[in-house]
Each structure stands twice: as structure tokens, then as C-alpha cells.
Amino acid sequence: MVFDELTLAQCVEQGVGPFVFPQRLAQGGYSPDECLRMKAVCVQNMQQQVHLQHILDLAWHALEKAGIEAVLMKGAGLAALYPEPQQRPWGDIDLFVGKKQYHAAAKVMRDTFPDARKFDEELDHYKHYNLIAEGVSIEVHRVTIDLPHPRDKRRYARMEEWGTAHAQPLAIGTLNVRVFEPTFNTLFVFLHSWEHMMTSGAILRQLCDLKLLLQHEKERIDRTKLASDLKALCLTDVWQLYMWILVERMGLAQADAPLYTDKVSGRAQRLLTDLLAGKMVMPSAQTQASSNRFVRKWRTMKERMKNAERIGIYSPSYARHMKASIIRSGAKRLFAPDRHWE
């Protein structure tokens, strides 16, 4: 199991400390200082969740009062899958409201938390609107994932709409919320992790979330639909990398891993190794900004191509899909007027 190989520092870095440490403390064999460090991580997480739950209660009730139907994403909803909710850290609150309710929901959050720090603009091309209320980040999402390819956007939007229309009730403490339908939630949790793999870097906790979701919802996940959705988004190969990691290194039963294959073992192991080493981060541009818009856009396209080459080490098929999207969007933006934030 990959958890057994992690140092204490890696457990914290990978977001699995509160999940792994109780078992390690029970097993013993650690110094008093190490035990104190593990206990401190668990206690701090429990204390933080009390505050987060309070903010979530206020935000959710405010949206309900305004007649806005939200769906709780990630964090607290996934924590319910763990043996104990406090074993899954969540540092912010993600609320999906969709495009039609987006502006109304953003206003409700501002009115509910008038002293919150507001630094994001409420723009229609953003994935979400963000504010900081009592130290807690609240993200009001108009979309769940922002895919780069226009065709993928359209297809995923239909999947997102279906997952929202069939949202399920869930109790978080004394609060009754809604979470996405299990099949779509599985796709979303996977996509959210992959989005991080391609940009800012994923962590092991995201894979742990997917593992527990597959275990907990195995009777309700529509495997045929999931396979169809993955194929439509050109993500079958990437999904199989994840399944190999979950089965071979994280203890998921092979029967609970849709589309599992051992043919991707080499690439999947490299993906996991690089994830744990903190290498799954998109390289930042090293060149100075140019005043020439054509030069800027050309450099941006080159950086994105480099990122596609990086992803090609793990999934050549998805890298090709990325490159097609980069060429298409790059050509389109090259002759489009500059947007004000560029």
C-alpha cells in the first residue's frame, strides 16, 4: 500500500495525514515527538472542520432562503465517505449553482457575509466566484470543470446538467445538502484530480476520494454511462491509469474498478511516482512579457504545447487531444481582440 511508504511529512503534503495517522498511532513504534506531531495534525483538522461546518451552514441556509438550489461539491460531501468525516481534510467550501443562478448566488454570498474579503470579479467566463468569509474560502461555481476543447465543453455540460438534475440528498452533521448523482460525481472527482495533474499539481487525497467513492457507490454507479462519458471526453486511457494506481497501490478491489487493465502499469506507476515527488505541476513560463500581442499569444501556445508534451509521458492519447485543442484555440485567439485581463 502506498500509504505505508509515506513519511510523516509526505502524509501532510499529500492531504492524507488525518486519514493515515490514527492507524499509525494505534500500531505504535513511533517516537513521542512523532506521535505528538501526528496527533496535532488530527486535532487541528477536527477544530478547523467545526469552523468550516458553521460557515457551510450559514451559506447553505442563505441560498435555500433565496430559492437557489445548490449542490455541495468536493470537501464535506466526500468526507462523508471516510470511516470518520474528520479523516478527510477540507479547507474551503465549493457550491455549484450553475450558470442561470450564478449571479444571484454570488450576491447572496456577499449579503450573507458582508465583511468577507472579495477579490474575484463576477465574470461569466470564470469558473467560479470566490470570497473569504471568516477565513474560509467560499467558491460559487457556474461550472464544475473548465475543459479547454469546445467540443469537450459542450459534451461535459450535458453530463453536468444530468448529474445536477439527479442530485442526491446527504446529511452533513445536522445540515441536509445535495450532492451530485453518483455516476457523474465519480466522473467529476476524477476530472477534478486530472485537472490538477495538468496544471497546479494533484495530491494523493484526491485519488483516495475516488477510491472511496467507487467503493461506497459501486451499486449505484452506471458503468456503461461512465465508460461512454469517458470515451466522449477522450479520457479512457487516463482513467485506466487511475484505476491501476487505485487497485495495485491503494487497495481497491479490482471488481470495483471500472475499465481496469494492467496494460498501463508502467505509465501509471510513473504517474504515481511523479505525483508523490511533487512533479505533477505545469512548468511556468520563464520569458518576459512582450508588448506585442502576437508574440504573447505565440509564447502562450508554445508553453501549452510543452505542457502537452509533459502529459504525453503518462497518456500519449490525451496529449494528442490536448495539442489539437491548443492549436484550435491558439489560432482562434491569435486573431481575436485582447480580453481585458490579458
- In this prediction, residue 86 carries a pLDDT of 93
Domain final position from 237, 263, 281: 281
- Nearest Cα residue to 246 out of 257, 231, 255, 262: 257
Q: Are residues 266 and 230 in the same domain?
A: yes
Question: At 225, is the secondary structure helix, strand, or coil?
Answer: helix
φ, ψ of residue 140 in degrees (nearest 5):
-100, 110
Chain centroid, CA 139 distance in Å = 13
Evaluate if residue 292 carries a pLDDT over 80: no
Q: Are residues 334 and 266 in the same domain?
A: no
Asked if residue 70 belongs to a domain, the reply is no
Domain final position from 255, 281, 307: 281
Percent share of the chain, pLDDT over 90? 78
Asked if residue 61 belongs to a domain, the reply is no
Evaluate if residue 286 carries a pLDDT over 60: no
Asked if residue 94 belongs to a domain, the reply is no
Asked if residue 156 belongs to a domain, the reply is no
Q: Are residues 209 and 274 in the same domain?
A: yes
Instruction: Quote the domain boundaries for residue 214.
Output: 203-281
Distance in angstroms (rounded) separating the CA atoms of residues 233 and 226? 11
Q: Are residues 266 and 318 in the same domain?
A: no
Q: Are residues 250 and 297 in the same domain?
A: no
Asked if residue 130 belongs to a domain, the reply is no
Q: Are residues 258 and 324 in the same domain?
A: no
pTM: 0.92
Evaluate if residue 341 carries a pLDDT over 50: no
User: Cell 449579503, residue?
Assistant: 111
- Nearest Cα residue to 271 out of 233, 231, 237, 230: 237
Number of domains in the chain: 2
What does the mean pLDDT of the chain come to? 91
Asked if residue 314 belongs to a domain, the reply is yes
Domain final position from 281, 301, 332: 281
Distance in angstroms (rounded) separating the CA atoms of residues 319 and 308? 5
Lookup: cell for 224: 456503461
Q: Are residues 232 and 276 in the same domain?
A: yes
Q: Are residues 276 and 295 in the same domain?
A: no
Percent share of the chain, pLDDT over 70? 90
